Amino acid sequence: MSRRLVREKALQVLYQCEINPLGKEASVERTIRSLEKDVQEESLSFFIRITDGVFKERDLIDSKIQQYLKEKWTIARLSYVDRSILRMAVYELLYEKEIPKGVTLNEAVELAKTYSAEESARFINGVLGNIARNLGEVEGNKSPVE
């Protein structure tokens, strides 16, 4: 299974958890069981890293996103889908150093084109582009520093 499809599965889980936070474990486990049948170990590992990483680092990820939103916009004001795409992409930018930034941005924009409103792809591209350009302060580190 391609990383794009794994990202789609991760997006679906993150979205479900936005709707029903109490169903997080069941959603993750159900998806892992379905992926175990169809994917290589590397794809399953990538899915687990993304979902667990977003859940564990959500406060830091949200603070990074918030820095690049226009004034009067908040994380809570974003749609569930856009928020989930941004969280997943920012996690990748911060922690998945082997993935080129351009790939992460492109994948996020493509997810937005498929799963979100028409204008969301441009919005997500703008926010992530600004974040990616300004990540110099964390380059080379495994975990970001404020």
CATH number for position 98: 1.10.940.10
Which percentage of the chain shows pLDDT scores above 90? 66
Evaluate whether residue 146 is within a structural domain. Answer: no
Domain count, the chain: 1
Which percentage of the chain shows pLDDT scores above 70? 90
User: What pLDDT does 41 receive?
Assistant: 81
Evaluate whether residue 100 is within a structural domain. Answer: yes
CB 112 within 8 A of CB 8: no
CB 117 within 8 A of CB 79: yes
* Average pLDDT rounded to a whole number, residues 117-143: 79
Q: How far is the C-alpha of 15 from the C-alpha of 19, rounded, in Å?
A: 7
Q: How many angstroms from the chain centroid is the CA of residue 102?
A: 14
Evaluate whether residue 45 is within a structural domain. Answer: yes
Can you give the residue range of the structural domain that contains 77?
3-138
Output the pTM of the full model.
0.86
pLDDT digits (tens, 9 = 90+) for 74-126: 999 999 999 999 999 999 999 999 999 999 999 999 999 999 988 999 999 99
User: What pLDDT does 136 receive?
Assistant: 64
Type and span of the H or E element at 67:
helix 58-67
CB 123 within 8 A of CB 85: no
Q: How far is the C-alpha of 134 from the C-alpha of 41, rounded, in Å?
A: 33
Evaluate whether residue 61 is within a structural domain. Answer: yes
